[in-house]
Structure 1
Amino acid sequence: MKKFIQTIKDIWSIDELKTKILLTLGLMAVYRFMAQVTLPGIDPQQLTVLGDKTSDGLLGLLSAFTGGAFSRASIMALGIMPYISASIVVQLMGIAVPYLQKLQKDGESGRNKINQITRWLTIGITIVQGGAYLTSLPSLGIPAEAYLLGQGGMFWISSMILLTAGTVFAMWLGERITEKGIGNGISLLIMIGIIARFPAAFMQEFTSKYAAGSGGFMMILLEIIVWLLIILASILLVTAVRKIAVQYARRTVVGSIDDAQGARQYIPLKLNSAGVMPIIFAQAIMFVPGLIARNSDGTVQTIFNALSDFNGWGYNILFCVLIIVFSYFYTAITIPTNKMAEDLKKSGGFIPGVRPGVETSEKLDSILSKITLPGSIFLALLAVFPAIVVHFGVQQNWAMFYGGTSLIIMVGVAIDTIQQINSYLLNRHYDGLMKTGTKRRGTI
């Protein structure tokens, strides 16, 4: 504990790092404050039913990503999700659209243009999703008397403007955090929204265990132990890599031998190269059975109702299959093994026993395919684990923290942020957060 406290003191002794952390915390606080502001014209006292209907299932997940703003009919109800959707669309279009491919190769100017395209697409997606959200509010339980000024054109126009402005503002906050704060701003906004629900979810579980007389303290303790083990498994999944040994030929530089080029190095291939994207893609597809069930009847409705049950076996088996499929798909489009092989060849490197060029590309692709299978299965199991613990009596809101998108996002963002803080500490000759907290000797 003393070493940890010393590390915290070292962090606050670096003025630049302290400023970045305070700025990040301040912008996240602004985001959380804005998430509490209800759309004008809606009585916040009438939103109890909306909160109940969006407390679990897929709507519960959307509410979690927005920190509960979705279930409060807030001006930040759509949160940062339209920006995430736009980023995914632009990334996928970059595979097939030559113009975007050219921009990707244009360096900083190309990235700026891609960011601008993403922002405009975000506004378009927000308008579509905002209209769908406002249309669905009555069906989600908001009574007619909750609309203080009616549901006419003025309410729609003002609400659409505010929902769009809320998403654009969230996007701006995320970009400012990334640029001037610490960590990835967009991911931090999602994480802070998820964490915002943690205290209420835990207290609900704590109360239910004591009120029902179903184990009390011992059951809570067991659940916490299992939760910590799942966090450990998530960390292993996020950080696990397969190291591919690479040898660089020695080269003569200014009459001498460049020993650094003769050293053995590694290409790290992640066990889960796709991150959380397969779960997001799979969940988007899993909205379809529910839509089909609402517009059908008889046997078809029964089948698709089963496939839209968040805690049902049919839903989770199909969910697992889709995650595995999308893991391969997203890994294939984001890890260019042919470009890696070409860059390795240009730099004079090679994998021992493998010819540079095409054979190296095939070797990397083969290894990546083999490690993606256990990685995708592990990811799928983590994704459906919340549904598993629900069958053992865990409350739905608390079960959300036992895996799935929420936990993997929190673990990934936490690791990324800690690594950035560590880089500042190590540059100033301090040990990082994951090591002892003493100063290192030496001068800068």
Structure 2
Amino acid sequence: MLSTLRNAWKVPDLKKRLIFTFFMLALFRMGNFILVPGIDRTKLQALSQGGNLFAFYDLISGGAFSNFSIFAMGVGPYINSSIIFQLLTIALPSLEQLSKEGEDGRKKIQQYTRYGAIFFAIVQAFSTYAIISRAGALQDASRLNMFLIILTLTTASTFLMWFGDKITVKGVGNGISLLIFVNIISGIPNTIYQVAALQKVEEVNFIQVIMFAALAVALFIVVVIMSLAERRIPVQYAGKTVGGRVYKGQSTHIPINVNSAGVIGIIFAMSVMQFPATIGAIWPESKFYTFVTGSKFSLFKEGSLQYMLIYFILVIFFTWFYTQVTFKPDEMAENMHKSSGFIPGIRPGDSTANYIDKILTRISILGGIFVAMIAILPIIIANSTPFKGVYFGGTGLLIMVSVALEAVRQIESQLVMRHYQGFLK
């Protein structure tokens, strides 16, 4: 990775893109320290502790939610809109047809996604206001202040959407993903500080800190390996004659990533498991909220054995579901047949589609088990170790590793396009 960046720095065009990306990300981090006035942040920080939904929002916003800066919602509305429109593209024939119309169709879907992101930003801003109001974090509960908070959060989220697009066009990598990447990286010093504070008050000893660090390094290595792991389906293309020229047959493969769904399964499962508690937080004195968060019979009591079990199963299910709806074995088999390709030992048509579907099912379940283990790791650490209050898990690592690998791939492709001799050696 470092050698790729060093080689890219020697290319003037890529050097400008890298500088532009770093400059934009620095401006973005500055915006995270512009606070919304009239908020009691101590109560918000209590909301975002542990492995709940608020903690995840605080993770991807780089602490902007707990500090309630103008970027408190981050790019969450855009992510929600992107996921929904990706699923709608499969469910609605009109959007599916647009996706097949090439670049123009994708631009239209992207435009609809942006409009949807603005709508979700308004809804999420109002919901955020309601939650912080019920939590007693508002110092001014007037309607004017409500309007200003909702307007500020919505405008800031829309601005970040534009900001990310500019990085994608003029910089390196996917802009939205890089914004999340930088936010997660910014939380590492705080995690180190929390661990050091625990050792200072003698809640943990030096050996426990070393074991915690070793676990973090091991988890990072495992996440990198699983992010790069793939199942390759061999494909053989028959020779053909085009315009009087004879093309020989060739062998290739279809790569299927073990964790192709990424953190989508965790996001969906976390949303389902935290939805009752999030709704109940609006009425903290209600019996519903008391039962959901305090009863030993509640399936949604965070940290309980039944919570971890259902959470684990939901992550596997949503990972499998997302993989099934995004990959289309029928279309893959049809396109392969049109290109005179076939899987050795498998008949073209339905047999090929069924074969690909079986592989996708096995791979998605395997990837779902891995992601589910990553998801429940923070809960296990909080329940069985002295490192309570330290939000550490593989969710952030999954995002960081996937974004970093994607950015490196884009830089390498740019270097190959420019035939950079130092890289090709």
**Equivalent of 1:140 in 132, 135, 149:** 135
Partner of 1:48: 42
Partner of 2:153: 163
CA distance in 2, matches of 1:5, 1:152: 52
Q: Deviations over 1:23-53 (max 9, x none)?
A: 11111122211121122x426xx42332233
The alignment status of 1:228 with 2:217, answered yes or no, reads yes
Q: Structure 1 residues 214, 300: closer, same or farther in 2, change over 3 A? A: closer
Q: Determine if contact 2:291/2:298 at 8 Å carries over to the other structure.
A: no
SS of corresponding position for 1:307: coil
Partner of 1:214: 204
CA distance in 1, matches of 2:370, 2:92: 33
Superposition pairs of residues 364-379 of structure 1, within 5 angstroms: 364-379=356-371
Partner of 1:435: none
Q: Determine if contact 1:50/1:141 at 8 Å carries over to the other structure.
A: no
Q: Determine if contact 1:11/1:425 at 8 Å carries over to the other structure.
A: yes
User: Percent of counterpart pairs with the same letter?
Assistant: 34
Q: Compute the displacement of 1:213 (Å).
A: 5.8
Partner of 2:21: 24
**Equivalent of 2:253 in 266, 273, 293:** 266
SS of corresponding position for 2:69: coil
SS of corresponding position for 1:137: helix
CA distance in 1, matches of 2:293, 2:181: 36
Partner of 2:8: 11
Q: Which amino acid aligns with 2:49?
A: S
Partner of 2:164: 174
Q: Deviations over 1:59-117 (max 9, x none)?
A: 11111111111112222111100111111111122222222122112212211211111
Q: Compute the displacement of 1:349 (Å).
A: 0.3
Partner of 2:266: 279
Q: Deviations over 1:248-278 (max 9, x none)?
A: 112235555423xx22111112222222111
TM-score by length of 1: 0.87
Q: Deviations over 1:170-214 (max 9, x none)?
A: 101111111111111111111111111110111110231243163
Q: Compute the displacement of 1:288 (Å).
A: 2.7
Partner of 1:360: 352
Q: Which amino acid aligns with 2:189?
A: P
Q: Structure 1 residues 377, 72: closer, same or farther in 2, change over 3 A? A: same
Q: Determine if contact 1:323/1:380 at 8 Å carries over to the other structure.
A: yes
Q: Deviations over 1:391-423 (max 9, x none)?
A: 3435356442x313x221111101111112222
The alignment status of 1:94 with 2:118, answered yes or no, reads no
Q: Compute the displacement of 1:285 (Å).
A: 0.6
Partner of 1:66: 61
Q: Which amino acid aligns with 2:275?
A: V
CA distance in 1, matches of 2:300, 2:87: 27
Q: Structure 1 stretch 99-108 or stretch 325-334: which is displaced more?
A: 99-108
The alignment status of 1:387 with 2:376, answered yes or no, reads no
Q: Compute the displacement of 1:428 (Å).
A: 4.7
Q: Determine if contact 1:246/1:266 at 8 Å carries over to the other structure.
A: yes
**Equivalent of 2:190 in 200, 204, 211:** 200
**Equivalent of 2:35 in 38, 42, 45:** 38
Q: Structure 1 residues 395, 118: closer, same or farther in 2, change over 3 A? A: same
Q: Structure 1 residues 139, 305: closer, same or farther in 2, change over 3 A? A: farther
What stretches of structure 2 of length at least 5 have no aligned partner? none
CA distance in 1, matches of 2:356, 2:370: 21
Q: Compute the displacement of 1:140 (Å).
A: 2.8
Q: Compute the displacement of 1:7 (Å).
A: 5.5
Q: Structure 1 stretch 350-359 or stretch 46-55: which is displaced more?
A: 46-55
CA distance in 1, matches of 2:280, 2:137: 24
Q: Which amino acid aligns with 2:23?
A: G
CA distance in 2, matches of 1:178, 1:396: 38
**Equivalent of 1:420 in 410, 415, 419:** 410
Q: Which amino acid aligns with 1:287?
A: Q
The alignment status of 1:78 with 2:73, answered yes or no, reads yes
CA distance in 1, matches of 2:352, 2:387: 50
Q: Determine if contact 1:174/1:185 at 8 Å carries over to the other structure.
A: yes
Q: Which amino acid aligns with 1:121?
A: G
Q: Determine if contact 2:259/2:368 at 8 Å carries over to the other structure.
A: yes
Partner of 1:434: none
**Equivalent of 1:326 in 306, 318, 322:** 318
CA distance in 2, matches of 1:300, 1:69: 27
CA distance in 2, matches of 1:352, 1:89: 37
Q: Structure 1 residues 362, 430: closer, same or farther in 2, change over 3 A? A: same
What stretches of structure 1 of length at least 5 have no aligned partner? 432-437
CA distance in 1, matches of 2:3, 2:101: 44
Q: Determine if contact 1:67/1:193 at 8 Å carries over to the other structure.
A: yes
CA distance in 1, matches of 2:20, 2:127: 34
Q: Structure 1 residues 430, 220: closer, same or farther in 2, change over 3 A? A: farther
SS of corresponding position for 1:244: strand
SS of corresponding position for 2:287: coil
CA distance in 1, matches of 2:90, 2:295: 36
CA distance in 2, matches of 1:228, 1:212: 23
